[in-house]
Amino acid sequence: MDTPVNSTKFSQRIIKSNLLSGHIAGYHDFSMVNKSKISSRKPLALDPGDRIELVAPASPFSLAEMKAGAQVLRDMGFVPVWNDGVFAKNGFFAGTDKQRAKNLERAIYNKDTKAIWSIRGGYGTARIMGMLDKKSLASCNKLLVGFSDVSSLLLNMYFNHGLVTIHGPVITQLPRIPKTHLQWLKSILTNTRAAGKVPLGRTRVVCHGSASGILAGGNLSILASLSGTWLMPNFKGCIVFLEDVAEQAYALDRKWQQLVQSGCLRGVRGLVLGELTRCKPAAGSRWSARKVMERALAELGVPAISGAAFGHGKANIALPVGVRAKLNTQEHGLVLLDPVVR
């Protein structure tokens, strides 16, 4: 007598098989961005008096903090401008997805500005990536600056469109940034020569060694959320930098494992761990968030340092996405081998 088939389990197996082979209508192959050769494009350097457009691709922001950050740009010699659309609000977004996408596209096409700077991160940037016109992204030669939730935009622009971008302070964070960090930021935005050693502050060696590769990375939580989507880069050949905020240690480890098991870190050449602002040990554990992450990074077995001065705290040294760099743990150093702008 044949063993009866459990119809529910059988159906689940069929669905799983079809999903894996892409046979179900509406299913898309969300494989990682995997370009063996990215045709890198450098944005135009900024000059004194250049106009910078402020955008809000994610969450609403404090008007007072935005104005204070805009003043920092003025003090640096630039002219911040913005469209009234950045003040829109829709729940925890700075306007609807359509509004935010339209405002960002308009900023890209605006011939009167040379850079686009995110006012704040928060949440929502990845929601509008698929709504942006690919022609506008492919033609963009402007500096794009931001971090945290904006990581998805920065990585998309480099890995899909070849444009070097800047992982750096958002506008609302600028007033808290040390003067030395602002000087570094201005130098990589304006200098058409390689900037040299990045002032990462005092770092700790996790895994000894040296490596060269394309510098890329961003917020760990955001990267983990991109896993399985068309926005997830393949970091093969890269020196990857990571930071995060307000996460428990076990959650950081889980997000890291998601990246490792997705395969996006296969072939990574080096790792740089930045600030883990307000990240705490899990309840009942004495292991700090940093200890947990340093253990995780060490398991990858590539040159790695920890404690670099970038993230959600008072320090956020700007790092380019898409520029060749060299990591040397003996010197606790990260050196930019190419200029960021042209």
- Domain's final residue, options 147, 176, 205: 176
Residues 132 and 162 occupy one common structural domain: yes
* Three-class HEC string of 224-282: HHHCCCCCCECCCCEEEEEEEECCEHHHHHHHHHHHHHHCCCCCCCEEEEEEEECCECC
Q: Which residue has tokens 């994610």?
A: 58
187, part of any domain: no
Q: Are residues 218 and 286 in the same domain?
A: yes
Cβ atoms of 320 and 167 closer than 8 Å: yes
Cβ pair 225, 291 in contact under 8 A: no
Residue 10 included in any domain: no
C-alpha–C-alpha distance, residues 21 and 172, integer Å: 45
190: exposed, middle or buried (Cβ count in 10 Å: 0-12, 13-18, 19+)? middle
Quick one: which H or E segment has residue 189?
helix 179-190
Question: Do 226 and 140 sit in the same domain of this protein?
Answer: no
Are both 101 and 205 inside the same structural domain? no
Give the model's pLDDT for residue 36.
53
Q: Is the domain of 332 the same as that of 290?
A: yes
Q: Sign of the CA dihedral 54, 58, 62, 68? A: negative
Which of 43, 336, 313, 45 minimizes the C-alpha distance to 199?
336
Q: Is residue 166 assigned to a domain?
A: yes
Same domain, 161 and 67: yes
**Both 79 and 110 in a single domain?**
yes
DSSP classification of residue 163:
B
The one-letter amino acid code at 100 reads R
Q: What is the CATH number of the domain that holds 268?
A: 3.50.30.60
The predicted pLDDT at position 25 comes to 34
The vertex-51 CA angle with 48 and 55, nearest 5°, equals 135
Q: Are residues 233 and 269 in the same domain?
A: yes
Question: Is 43 among the domain residues?
Answer: no
- Which structural domain range is residue 128 located in? 51-176
In a domain? residue 8: no
Cα 193 to Cα 291: distance, rounded to the nearest angstrom: 37
Among 107, 143, 120, 110, which Cα is nearest to 67's? 120
Question: What pLDDT is stored for residue 136 in this prediction?
Answer: 87
Residues 257, 312 within the same domain: yes
Neighbours of 139 (CB within 10 A): 13
In a domain, residue 245? The reply is: yes
- Plot region of 66 (φ>0 → left; ψ -120 to 50 → alpha; else → beta): alpha
pLDDT for 32 equals 61
* Cα 43 to the center of its chain, rounded Å: 17
SS3 50: coil
pLDDT given at position 26: 35
User: Over its length of 342 residues, how does the chain's per-residue pLDDT go in tens digits?
Assistant: 333 334 444 334 433 333 333 333 333 344 466 555 788 999 999 999 999 999 999 999 999 999 999 999 999 999 999 999 999 999 999 999 999 999 999 999 999 999 999 999 999 999 999 999 998 899 999 999 999 999 999 999 999 999 999 999 999 999 999 999 999 999 999 999 999 999 999 999 999 999 999 999 999 999 999 999 999 999 999 999 999 999 999 999 999 999 999 999 999 999 999 999 999 998 888 899 999 999 999 999 999 999 999 999 999 999 999 999 999 999 889 999 999 999
Q: Are residues 171 and 201 in the same domain?
A: no
Place of tokens 């850079």: 115
State the SS3 of 95-122. Answer: CCHHHHHHHHHHHHHCCCCCEEEECCCC
Record the tokens describing residue 40, joined without a space: 């890198």
CATH of the domain at 148: 3.40.50.10740
pTM score, whole prediction: 0.90
The reply to whether 181 falls in a domain is no
| Number of domains the chain is built from | 2
Whether residues 206 and 330 fall in one domain: yes
Establish if 36 belongs to a structural domain. Answer: no
| Residue-level pLDDT at 35 | 52
Last residue of a domain, one of 142, 176, 210: 176
Pair (207, 328) in one structural domain: yes
pLDDT at site 283: 81
- Of 176, 208, 239, the one marking the end of a domain is 176
Q: Please provide the DSSP assignment of 280-322 as one string.
A: BPPTT----HHHHHHHHHHTT-S-EEE--S-SSSS----EEES
